[in-house]
């Protein structure tokens, strides 16, 4: 029984000594972190922002939960225009800070970093979070108004660009359609010309191919020479002359008869 008690006492002593050593180490690290923080602050005041950033990072290496070091590191990065790298430091402070005033300052600086990157929607959100933690901050309220105005302008500009892009696309499509129409028109003209040329070639090679047979016969009849009258025999000539004399006598009688009645009229010959 005494042995068990002795073992427990020894164990407690060892455990307590380790805990004491750990606490001592933790305190030592915290002191070292505070020293590095002060060193970083001095460099920051001298506007040696890069060296200040190194000091703050060393402070955080000794104490990862050192909110002041992370916040000041964000400020040093911001002053060096490393806005993208500064934002996570501010976010860490905003998440771990216990008082609302520190949270408000962290969100305010997030908004400023977003503004520098022209990320106006994110800036508006950050300023609103800052005002939720500190509604009486007039500077944050002013920055919020500026961010909202720039955001609205950005939306209008983007809308104008989209409309212009849409109009340009419609014009491009219209021009493309017009070109296709002109191309098809030229193509049709070429085809019509080729058809006409083909018809001409066909007409020269075979003129009678498309002719109407009836018209062809008619034309042939017109073109046929009239048969020549054969020579008359003396007997036929005598008969013709006698016939002409008889007709002339008849005509003379008719004319004499009408002359006796009155005015002479012109008569067409009926032979």
DSSP string over 33-53 = HHHHHHHHHHHHHTT-HHHHH
Rounded distance, CA 89 to CA 42, Å? 20
What pLDDT shows up at residue 126? 97
Cα 248 to Cα 116, 234, 256: the distances in Å are: 132, 21, 12
* C-beta of residue 77 within 8 angstroms of C-beta of residue 85: yes
- Give the best-scoring range by mean pLDDT among 149-158, 195-204, 205-214: 149-158
When the pLDDT of each residue in the chain is averaged and rounded to a whole number, the result is 77
Q: Which of 48, 124, 58, 113 is nearest to 82 (CA)?
A: 113
State how far the Cα of 70 lies from the Cα of 102, in Å rounded to an integer.
12
Question: In which residue are the tokens 């046929």 written?
Answer: 224
Average pLDDT over residues 128-140: 97
Q: Which of these ranges, 54-63, 100-109, 226-235, has the smallest mean pLDDT?
A: 226-235
Q: Which residue has the higher pLDDT, 52 or 188?
A: 52
Provide the pLDDT for residue 200.
Answer: 54
Helix (H) or strand (E) holding 210: none
Considering only 78-92, 106-120, 210-224, which range has the smallest mean pLDDT?
A: 210-224
Q: Residue 270 pLDDT > 50, yes or no?
A: no
**Residue 37 contacts residue 49 (beta carbons within 8 Å):** no
* CATH 1.25.40.10 given to domain 15-144: yes
Give pLDDT, residue 168.
78
Phi, psi of 64 (to 5 degrees): -65, -20
% of the chain at pLDDT higher than 90 = 46
* Section 146-165 average pLDDT: 89
Alpha carbons 78 and 86: distance in angstroms, whole number: 6
Decide if pLDDT at 135 tops 70.
yes
Residue 144 CA to chain centroid, in angstroms?
34
Question: Residue 86's pLDDT is what?
Answer: 97
Split at pLDDT 50, 70, 90, the class of 72 is very high
Longest dimension (CA), the chain: 196
* Residue 204: per-residue pLDDT: 45
- pLDDT at residue 237, as a whole number: 67
* pLDDT at site 36: 96
pLDDT at 114: 97
Give the best-scoring range by mean pLDDT among 5-9, 98-102, 185-189, 219-223.
Answer: 98-102
Residue 120 near residue 151, CB atoms below 8 Å: yes
Distance of alpha carbon 95 from alpha carbon 106, whole angstroms: 9
Alpha carbon distance 90, 106 (integer Å): 5
> What value does the mean pLDDT take over residues 56-80?
95
**DSSP-assigned letters across all residues of 40-107:** HHHHHHTT-HHHHHHHHHHHHHH-TT-HHHHHHHHHHHHHTT-HHHHHHHHHHHHHH-SSHHHHHHHH
The predicted pLDDT at position 232 comes to 61
The answer to whether 51 and 32 have CB atoms below 8 angstroms apart is no
Any residues with CB less than 8 A from the CB of 111 and at least 6 apart, and which? Answer: 123, 124, 126, 127, 130, 140, 143, 144, 147
Residue 260 has pLDDT above 50, yes or no: no
């Amino acid at each position: 029984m005494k042995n068990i008690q002795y073992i427990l006492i020894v164990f407690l002593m060892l455990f307590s000594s380790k805990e004491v050593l750990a606490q001592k180490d933790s305190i030592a690290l915290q002191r070292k972190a505070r020293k590095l923080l002060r060193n970083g602050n001095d460099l920051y005041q001298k506007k040696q922002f890069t060296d200040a950033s190194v000091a703050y990072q060393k402070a955080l290496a000794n104490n990862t939960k050192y909110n002041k070091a992370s916040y000041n590191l964000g400020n040093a990065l911001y002053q060096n225009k490393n806005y993208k790298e500064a934002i996570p430091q501010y976010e860490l402070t905003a998440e771990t800070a216990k008082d609302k005033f520190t949270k408000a300052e962290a969100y305010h600086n997030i908004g400023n970093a977003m503004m520098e990157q022209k990320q106006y929607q994110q800036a508006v959100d950050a300023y609103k979070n800052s005002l939720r933690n500190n509604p009486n901050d007039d500077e944050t309220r002013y920055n919020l108004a500026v961010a909202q105005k720039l955001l609205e302008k950005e939306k209008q500009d983007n809308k104008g660009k989209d409309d212009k892009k849409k109009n340009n696309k419609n014009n491009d499509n219209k021009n493309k359609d017009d070109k296709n129409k002109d191309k098809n028109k030229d193509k049709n003209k070429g085809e019509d010309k080729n058809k006409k040329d083909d018809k001409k070639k066909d007409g020269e090679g075979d003129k009678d191919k498309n002719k109407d047979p009836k018209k062809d016969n008619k034309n042939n009849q017109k073109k046929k020479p009239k048969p020549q009258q054969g020579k008359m025999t003396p007997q036929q000539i005598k008969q013709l002359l006698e016939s002409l004399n008889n007709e002339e006598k008849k005509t003379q009688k008719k004319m004499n008869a009408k002359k006796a009645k009155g005015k002479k009229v012109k008569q067409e010959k009926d032979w």
